[in-house]
Amino acid sequence: MNSRSLSKLTQLPCRRGLAGVGALRSFSVSASRSADFTHAVIGGGVVGLAVARALAERASAASLSSSASASASPVLLLERHSDVGTETSSRNSEVIHAGLYYGAESLKTQVCIRGRQLLYDFCEQYGVGHRRTGKWIVAQTPNQRNALEKIYAFAQSYRGGRVDLQEDEVLPLRWVTADEAKRREPAIRAEAGVLESLATGIVDSHGLMQTLLGLFEDAGGVLASGSPVVGITPLGGVGDAPGSGGWQLHVKPVGAAEETVVTAETIVNAAGLGAAAVHNMITQGDTAGPASPPMQLYYAKGNYFSYSSSQPRVSTLVYPAPDPGVGGLGTHLTLDLAGRIRFGPDFEWVTDPTDLAANAARLPSAIEAIKAYLPGIDAGALQPDYAGIRPKLLPPGGDGKHKKDPDFIVRSEPGYKGWVNLLGIESPGLTSSLAIGEMVEKLVYSR
Ligand SMILES: Cc1cc2nc3c(=O)[nH]c(=O)nc-3n(C[C@H](O)[C@H](O)[C@H](O)COP(=O)(O)OP(=O)(O)OC[C@H]3O[C@@H](n4cnc5c(N)ncnc54)[C@H](O)[C@@H]3O)c2cc1C
């Protein structure tokens, strides 16, 4: 599972001469058979890792079934930091979401439900730490009760095209009676009702990413860590779609004086908070082709608070009823795999995507939010802990309120050849990662 720095690319097959690499290649998905790599994935978070693993396993299976004796490394994963998964993928709640919040038509719902099912199976198969904790969504007011009723109605009606399943098998939910709530979680206040999601769980996100990395490398993939992509040029003849001749990636390895240039037949932009910058590297330099408009991301920080007291005891995840316009799912209570309680994330617009210190000034409002459902909280045991940043596709509304979240963008970028673009992969991106990997593989190979 060792990763290799791009500075060592000279030792890899791709640097031995492009003609030789092309001759070794046992399959190709595009016209450019002389590229160093078949696919380059930019960004080694959980989504980039899931995509890279899916592409590497597909390529490895194809080369095994062909008569070629060897093949060049088919997939390159480029990560700017020295390790994978140090940005948003390791700064979240580690919750395996059921898929309750995003509406019937959204890609978020589709990949969250599919991703959740794939993720539970993956964790079982590869021994990644996880637990089906379930989750309570609690209401304190009639309005919040209405919000729960809406979620329940959605879950009852949503089958995601699965006519073979009972309606409550796709998004299983149940109402918890007041007596049961008091018996199971006496510390939790829920004046107007509790809805329990049975499919929700938690996962060890680091274990998940290390396992994906291992599978990727076992399938012949190459990780170039410490390798920020600083420029991208689509290749192609006059009149061809940009990218039809492959892609040139300019990489500035950490500590190196010079840029390194590698080529790939297809590219996947999975750069998370850096995804708009990567998008703009392509479109801004592209004077000939049908350029996509530039992208901008906005940043919404989520602060977490650790809890050092063992009282009150809570053994399920607890979320307040969603409050439209506030952003996020509300400061909730989650558990890690050791059973430790943590609170968060809250929702704070920031301008700097590297502003990752938990904001202590947010503690009083977090305490207020937590007390609504956990009145016995020992406020003195709460401490600012860590923060993660959501890559938002829309800015705050004029009133400073949060607009309805746009859907995930996962698409073959129109007007280009061989560019799959992933933008706005906020929550439930961790849950959805394996499904996004599956989807990108289909996009790349269906061309
Ligand atoms: C506060 C918070 C709580 C969340 N809670 C949950 C949850 O409980 N459940 C859930 O399902 N989802 C949750 N999410 C969402 C989930 O964490 C993300 O959707 C997911 O981690 C996104 O993964 P990613 O790989 O797209 O992005 P990232 O993890 O950000 O990875 C992108 C990578 O790209 C690299 N990169 C960027 N630019 C370049 C470049 N130019 N060259 C090379 N590399 C580059 C970065 O260094 C980074 O490693 C939460 C998110 C936040 C912010």
Average the pLDDT over 70-84 and give the result.
86
92 CA from centroid of ligand 1 (Å): 9
Tokens describing residue 233: 């040029």
- Is the beta carbon of 431 within 6 A of some atom in ligand 1? yes
Q: How many CB atoms lie within 10 A of CB 268?
A: 29
- Is the beta carbon of 87 within 6 A of some atom in ligand 1? yes
Task: Answer for the pair 270, 277: CB distance below 8 angstroms, yes or no.
Answer: no
Per-residue pLDDT at 151 exceeds 80: yes
**Which residue would you say has higher pLDDT here, 321 or 21?**
321
Task: Name the residue of 42, 82, 89 whose CB sits within 8 Å of the most ligand 1 atoms, as the mutation to test its pocket.
Answer: 89
What is the average pLDDT score of the chain?
A: 88
pLDDT digit string, tens, across residues 178-208: 999 999 999 999 999 999 999 999 999 999 9
- Helix 205-218 and helix 107-126: axis angle, to 10°? 80
**Which residue would you say has higher pLDDT here, 44 or 289?**
44
Q: Which atom of ligand 1 is nearest to the CA of 112?
A: 11
Per-residue pLDDT at 284 exceeds 50: yes
* Whole-number Å distance between alpha carbons of 279 and 293: 9
Average the pLDDT over 5-23 and give the result.
35
Three-class DSSP category at 287:
coil
Q: DSSP states of 350-361 as a string? A: ES-TT--S--GG
Range with lowest mean pLDDT among 118-122, 286-290, 420-424: 286-290
* Whole-number Å distance between alpha carbons of 73 and 71: 6
Which residue, among 334, 427, 338, 329, has the nearest Cα to 374 in the 3D structure?
334
Q: What are phi and psi of 227, to 5 degrees?
A: -130, 75
Q: Which atom of ligand 1 is nearest to the CA of 426?
A: 19
Q: Where in the chain is the domain with CATH 3.50.50.60?
A: 4-87+206-295+407-445
Question: What is the CATH number that goes with domain 4-87+206-295+407-445?
Answer: 3.50.50.60
Question: Which helix or strand (DSSP H or E) is residue 38 part of?
Answer: strand 37-42
Check residue 167 and give its pLDDT.
Answer: 53
Check residue 237 and give its pLDDT.
Answer: 82
273 CA from centroid of ligand 1 (Å): 7
Q: Which atom of ligand 1 is nearest to the CA of 304?
A: 1
Average the pLDDT over 407-415 and give the result.
96
Per-residue pLDDT at 163 exceeds 80: no
Q: Where in the chain is the domain with CATH 3.30.9.10?
A: 135-198+298-392
- Is the beta carbon of 42 within 6 A of some atom in ligand 1? yes
Average the pLDDT over 214-239 and give the result.
95
- Is the beta carbon of 429 within 6 A of some atom in ligand 1? yes
Average the pLDDT over 274-293 and give the result.
80
Q: Which residues make Cβ contacts (< 8 Å) with residue 405, sequence separation at least 6?
A: 102, 392, 393, 394, 426
Q: Which atom of ligand 1 is nearest to the CA of 46?
A: 25
- Is the beta carbon of 428 within 6 A of some atom in ligand 1? yes
User: pLDDT > 70: what percent of the chain?
Assistant: 85
Quick one: fold of 135-198+298-392?
D-Amino Acid Oxidase; Chain A, domain 2 (3.30.9)
Locate the DSSP E strands across 109-253. Answer: 130-131, 135-139, 173-176, 193-197, 201-203, 222-225, 229-235, 246-251
Per-residue pLDDT at 21 exceeds 70: no
Check residue 27 and give its pLDDT.
Answer: 32
Q: Which atom of ligand 1 is nearest to the CA of 428?
A: 11
Q: Give the predicted TM-score (pTM) of the model.
A: 0.92
- Is the beta carbon of 43 within 6 A of some atom in ligand 1? yes
pLDDT digit string, tens, across residues 359-395: 999 999 999 999 999 999 999 999 999 999 999 999 9
* Whole-number Å distance between alpha carbons of 91 and 89: 6
The three-point CA angle 193-373-99 to 5° equals 65
Task: Name the residue of 91, 430, 434, 439 whose CB sits within 8 Å of the most ligand 1 atoms, as the mutation to test its pocket.
Answer: 430
Q: Which atom of ligand 1 is nearest to the CA of 84?
A: 49
Q: Which atom of ligand 1 is nearest to the CA of 429?
A: 19
389 CA from centroid of ligand 1 (Å): 8
Task: Answer for the pair 301, 288: CB distance below 8 angstroms, yes or no.
Answer: no
Helices of type H across 317-374: 363-373
pLDDT digit string, tens, across residues 45-69: 999 999 999 999 998 888 777 654 4
270 CA from centroid of ligand 1 (Å): 9
The residue count of the chain comes to: 447
Check residue 7 and give its pLDDT.
Answer: 45
- Is the beta carbon of 45 within 6 A of some atom in ligand 1? yes
Which residue, among 103, 100, 104, 102, has the nearest Cα to 160 in the 3D structure?
104
- Is the beta carbon of 405 within 6 A of some atom in ligand 1? no
